[in-house]
Structure 1
Amino acid sequence: MTVSVLGGGIGGLSALYYLTLRQNATKIKLFEASSRFGGWIKSSKDDKTNVVFETGPRSLRPTGIPGLATLQLIENLGIEDLVVPVHRSHVAAKNRMVYAKNQLCMMPNSLKGIFTTIPPFTKPLFYAGIKDLFTGKSKVPLEDESIYDFIARRFGEEIAQYAISPVICGICAGDAKEISVKFLFKEIFEKEQKYGGVIKGIFKSRKEKVQDANAVTANTEFTKRAKIEGWSIYRMQDGVEIIPKKIVEHLQNNENVELNLNSTCERITFKNDEVHILINGNTQISKHLISTLPSFTLGNLLEHQHPILAKELKSIQYVDVAVINLLYNNEDLLKQKGFGVLVAPSENLGVLGVIFDSCIVDSKNNTVLTVMSGGKWFDKHYGKDSSIQNIEKVALENISKILDIHEKPDVCLTHLNRQCIPQYIVGHHARIERIRKYIAENKLSLSLGGAASDGVGVNDVILSSKRIAEQLVL
């Protein structure tokens, strides 16, 4: 049996890796349209300072089943010594800020903080918890709603506007007033619907034993370390790109694996029990196809044969995000250390947030920042002029406004990632179910991976690929 994989990002590479762990001898082919593997994960090192810049994902969380899967992958690849953990006691884990009401505001990082009125809120956050406890259960069960509406209903408008909306900018560069709570915060939404409140749901479900037959449950000394040492997040020495690079090295040594770059898929056709994949004008025939392509790309490839499926796939929106890496030869520019600052959409600025890289890893006595810009509002701020020069100009203006840094950076690198993050608009969960139901009912030899199907984070994508590989009948 031959399995083909489309897309050489972390999703496609992970799927291949987990397939090679199966006992069955299977020929696996991967096709990547670009000239490199890794997808949106890309790390580069500044020649003069040896500082590592990330133009995509930069840190990972060790928590939950997805976090465990990634930690185990890292260990299996033999690169656990390259993990740089950030412990919960670290300033970058404790101090997180939002820019709202035209000011930089520190979010509470202790129990005492929720009983104090702090900007941008007009009353202590304690009252938000009281509101959730006394709001009660919805009279009519909800199928889905926006994260903004969900939080406003349970905790109040201020929490939705100044706390959650900036967080959604950081997670998927999207508008909390559009993003589905059922998809992005599925567990919290379901607990609220079942128990009549978020806090009630958390406490009442503590004793419920959640089992996941598809997850690796065996902890190793390495994975236990993350919990024992209290890791909040972790990064990789020399950049996150080391993960896909090591997967490629592993796969290159497997005689059943064929890796192909510069290989553009032009059409996908299902014939009986086969998949005919047109790559660079040549037809590849496989028994099964795993696609980690953006959903709109996959939709275009299927439209000639399955227009209904294509329409569903192409209806998933994606946004553009500009990543601006800044380095200043001055280690004392930040007035407040921390992980970074997220910007409330209500401020109507051209940036989503700023990550304080030099507070998280050793940056050789420099101040290193990463500005995330655009997202849902990219066209609004850059539609008429999306040149690199203008994007950098807006970024530096906002660095000055938000962080009171007026120096010119010694290094400024900008990457424009077009259509890089899917938007989980209300109803997304139901749409993904319809897509998978169509595939099953039409008995298509197709599995869907990637960020649009099971979650935006690197951990989610890796776990999704792991499950696909394990469940595939070979």
Structure 2
Amino acid sequence: MAAILGGGLGGLSTGYYLLKNNLINNNNLKLYLLEGTKYCGGWIKSIKTKDYTFEQGPRTIRPKGIIGVNTLNMIQDLGLSEHVASIKHDHPAAKNRMIYVNNHLHLLPSSFKGVFQRITPFSKPLIFALLNDIKQPYKHLEDDSIYNFVERRFGKEIADYAVSPMICGICAGDAKEISVKFLMKTLFEWEQVHGGVVRGMIKSIFKPNTDKILELSDLARRAQEEKWNVYTIRGGLELFPTALHNYLKDNDVNIKLNTKIEEIQFVDSGTVVLKNTAGEKIEVNHIYSSIPAYSLANLVCKQHPELAQDLRDIPFVTVGIVNLHFATEKTLITPAFGFLVPPIENSPILGVVFDSCCIPDQNGTVLTVMLGGRWFKEKFGDAVTTSTLYDIAVKEISSILNITEKPSAHNVNILHRCIPQYVIGHYERVEKIRQYIKDKNLPISLVGSSYDGVGINDVIYSAKTQVLKDCI
């Protein structure tokens, strides 16, 4: 008997892979999925009407790499292929990505030719960044912030105007704190092994490709042939976790909603007792925890305070999400994915996604404004209201995009401690946590965004990886 803690994408994916690998059926095991709320899907939530879709969390998925192929294979297996809406490489949402600097929107280069042109706010063509890397001396480090690494190798402008806003968009974090291994592990290794990124890149060209190869589903093959940039699900991305939820139900997984666990008691290497807030106890042989690291820390702190402290040391940030719909026949925006705001601009917003360009079947203009992140408390305090965030979002949209119309509909949500921050030393910390579990022979596996990547593809692949480890 096994239990999955958390009904977000990580927990649902864990159930999916346990079933696919026959760990349940072949061993005649019973599987629980325990979710503390009334909803499965985690931060993926869609509000769908006849005129618009508001995504309150993630909205698009990247198809690239092994983890991208893995997700596409899952989506086809769940019967969602016909609902997939792709954005190809030549679509405005793929080509047009902007940053807001010095009270102006600036289009970032999207082609090879663009790196040879001087594009504001950069003072030189981006090709000069590579020349800067060649001139820089070698510096041995175990880890570094992504900001320091990029500034050292490619210059301050690249760090400020390219990488810092990108980190805001990916994890709502501060590039000066986030580990370079979070996004540029290969480039960092090239520097450490070969003395520079360009040198490492040149050497890698002649190195045999040893990457794993996954069998391509028809959907994954189509994504490659058609050169998808990103994709989403028609009718709202929430259809994805809903399909996973239904798959688990159809395969007799015992899904218990509104079930909040307050303590985990490890009896021995094959027995765990889960005590919920109603005083009930569930005894299982193994746990797959997909809940945030800080939540798991609260459940194990009595027996394993050292483990709990390491779990708590993984920081999380809060993000405000303001969805806006403008019921105008003429679009109010230039076709693009949206724009991000570098932290040096000291803005209350992280960026804006142009959903009516990125998400199909939208009438009018639909925007999503992201606020706070690493700076949420600094900008808004502890008692900010949704109405205040709405007012700030509308004001910023009016100022930056010159939109004077009043939104015809809106939704505001504060996602408390929603995104983990992979700060310097994160991967060593996660290794220490997993080594503790191994040394103590605790029957628990860790999956989800707290440990192995914050994106949708990362979370799904994390579940697959942990399940396959248990098969060995």
- Please tell me whether the aligned partners of residues 66 and 463 of structure 1 are also in contact (alpha carbons under 8 angstroms): yes
Who is 1:34 aligned against?
Answer: 37
Residues in 1 aligned to 2:196 and 2:46: alpha-carbon distance in whole angstroms? 42
Which of 245, 249, 253 aligns to 2:250? It is 253
The 5 Å alignment of 1:25-64 reads 25=27, 26-47=29-50, 49=51, 51-64=52-65
1:39 is paired with a residue of what secondary structure? coil
Residues in 2 aligned to 1:286 and 1:184: alpha-carbon distance in whole angstroms? 37
Residues in 2 aligned to 1:111 and 1:245: alpha-carbon distance in whole angstroms? 40
Who is 1:372 aligned against?
Answer: 370
Q: Kindly provide the CA deviation profile for residues 275-314 of structure 1, in whole angstroms up to 9, marking residues without a partner as x.
A: 1111231111111111011101101111100011000001
Who is 1:337 aligned against?
Answer: 335
Q: Kindly provide the CA deviation profile for residues 122-153 of structure 1, in whole angstroms up to 9, marking residues without a partner as x.
A: 11111111111232432xx2110101001000
Who is 2:230 aligned against?
Answer: 233
Residues in 2 aligned to 1:203 and 1:81: alpha-carbon distance in whole angstroms? 41
Residues in 2 aligned to 1:293 and 1:181: alpha-carbon distance in whole angstroms? 25
Residues in 2 aligned to 1:39 and 1:220: alpha-carbon distance in whole angstroms? 26
Q: What amino acid is aligned across from residue 58 of structure 2 in structure 1?
A: P
- In the TM superposition, residue 427 of structure 1 has moved relative to its aligned partner by 0.8
| 1:265 maps onto 2:276 in alignment | no
Which of 287, 290, 310 aligns to 1:289? It is 287
Q: Kindly provide the CA deviation profile for residues 62-93 of structure 1, in whole angstroms up to 9, marking residues without a partner as x.
A: 00111111101101101111110000010110
- Please tell me whether the aligned partners of residues 53 and 362 of structure 2 are also in contact (alpha carbons under 8 angstroms): no
Which of 334, 346, 349 aligns to 2:347? It is 349
Q: Which moved more, 1:409-418 or 1:355-364?
A: 355-364
Residues in 2 aligned to 1:54 and 1:364: alpha-carbon distance in whole angstroms? 12
Who is 1:104 aligned against?
Answer: 105
The 5 Å alignment of 1:55-204 reads 55-138=56-139, 141-204=140-203
- Please tell me whether the aligned partners of residues 85 and 360 of structure 2 are also in contact (alpha carbons under 8 angstroms): no
TM-score, normalised on structure 1?
A: 0.95
Once the two structures are aligned, what percentage of the paired residues are identical? 45
Who is 2:428 aligned against?
Answer: 430
Who is 1:16 aligned against?
Answer: 15
1:119 is paired with a residue of what secondary structure? coil
Q: What amino acid is aligned across from residue 261 of structure 1 in structure 2?
A: L
1:460 is paired with a residue of what secondary structure? helix
- Please tell me whether the aligned partners of residues 62 and 68 of structure 1 are also in contact (alpha carbons under 8 angstroms): yes
Q: Kindly provide the CA deviation profile for residues 126-182 of structure 1, in whole angstroms up to 9, marking residues without a partner as x.
A: 1111111232432xx211010100100010001000111000000000000000112
2:451 is paired with a residue of what secondary structure? helix
Q: Which moved more, 1:149-158 or 1:101-110?
A: 101-110
Which of 280, 297, 300 aligns to 2:298? It is 300
Residues in 1 aligned to 2:461 and 2:298: alpha-carbon distance in whole angstroms? 26
Residues in 1 aligned to 2:221 and 2:42: alpha-carbon distance in whole angstroms? 29
Residues in 1 aligned to 2:462 and 2:314: alpha-carbon distance in whole angstroms? 18
- In the TM superposition, residue 382 of structure 1 has moved relative to its aligned partner by 1.0
- In the TM superposition, residue 27 of structure 1 has moved relative to its aligned partner by 1.4
Q: Unaligned stretches of 5+ in structure 1?
A: none
Residues in 2 aligned to 1:345 and 1:254: alpha-carbon distance in whole angstroms? 47
Q: Unaligned stretches of 5+ in structure 2?
A: none
Q: What amino acid is aligned across from residue 253 of structure 1 in structure 2?
A: D
TM-score, normalised on structure 2?
A: 0.95
1:277 is paired with a residue of what secondary structure? strand
- In the TM superposition, residue 120 of structure 1 has moved relative to its aligned partner by 1.0
Who is 1:447 aligned against?
Answer: 445
- In the TM superposition, residue 403 of structure 1 has moved relative to its aligned partner by 1.3
Distance 1:90 1:311, change over 3 A: same
1:205 is paired with a residue of what secondary structure? helix
- Please tell me whether the aligned partners of residues 172 and 423 of structure 1 are also in contact (alpha carbons under 8 angstroms): yes
- In the TM superposition, residue 364 of structure 1 has moved relative to its aligned partner by 4.2
The CA RMSD over aligned residues, in Å, is: 1.5
1:472 is paired with a residue of what secondary structure? helix
Residues in 2 aligned to 1:202 and 1:165: alpha-carbon distance in whole angstroms? 23
2:450 is paired with a residue of what secondary structure? helix
Number of aligned residues:
465
- Please tell me whether the aligned partners of residues 86 and 231 of structure 1 are also in contact (alpha carbons under 8 angstroms): yes
Who is 1:210 aligned against?
Answer: 210
